[in-house]
Amino acid sequence: MKHLLLLRHAEAEAAAAGAPDADRPLTERGRLEAMEAAQCIARSALKIDSILASTARRARETADIVVARLSLSVPIDHEVGLYLAAPDTLLRAINGCPERTQTLLLVAHNPGISELAHQLATGLPASALRTGGLCHLTFQQSVWSDLGTPAAVEMLR
């Protein structure tokens, strides 16, 4: 059984004139959203084995807050290809996770992460994940490269 946590990065500041979009930091509200997401994960009692996150500052900060809040010793694998990635790119990253990973946290961006949640769990709207939104999908498959329809879907935040 595999557990996939899809976390949309928390609220970020508006882009400053001339500054790259990828450099936008979290707002104070965003830091609170990331802490709330961590609390939801703690309540779920899931043990995160692997973390994939976009290299954008807002995604890195969201992942860092979750790791700190949960006192995780799991390294964050920052992948440049996850920045504003389409659902198929996100799914390829998931499919490439090692079999030993039972619970994966993916921190990425809309619209891709919400569209991925919608593709995997067709009952979810394509815009399901708000900033700091968290979806937990449970799969019966034992390998990440062979994910089918989730056995359970739960919006945690």
Q: Where are the domains of the chain?
A: 2-12+24-155
Q: Is the dihedral of CA 133, 137, 143, 148 positive or negative?
A: negative
Query: Is residue 128 pLDDT above 90, yes or no?
Result: no
Nearest to 45 by CA among 70, 73, 63: 70
The predicted-structure confidence for 42-70, as pLDDT tens digits, reads as follows 999 999 999 999 999 999 999 999 999 99
Tell which CATH architecture fits domain 2-12+24-155.
3-Layer(aba) Sandwich (3.40)
The predicted-structure confidence for 8-31, as pLDDT tens digits, reads as follows 999 999 988 888 999 999 999 999
User: Beta strand 134-139 with 152-155: parallel, antiparallel or unpaired?
Assistant: antiparallel
Query: Is residue 108 pLDDT above 90, yes or no?
Result: yes
> For position 126, what pLDDT does the model report?
67
Can you give the three-state secondary structure of the chain, one letter per residue? Answer: CEEEEEEECCCECCCCCCCCHHHCCECHHHHHHHHHHHHHHHHHCCCCCEEEEECCHHHHHHHHHHHHHCCCCCCEEEEHHHCCCCHHHHHHHHHCCCCCCCEEEEEECCCHHHHHHHHHCCCCCCCCCCCCCEEEEEECCCCHHHCCCCCEEEECC
Rounded to two decimals, the pTM is 0.95
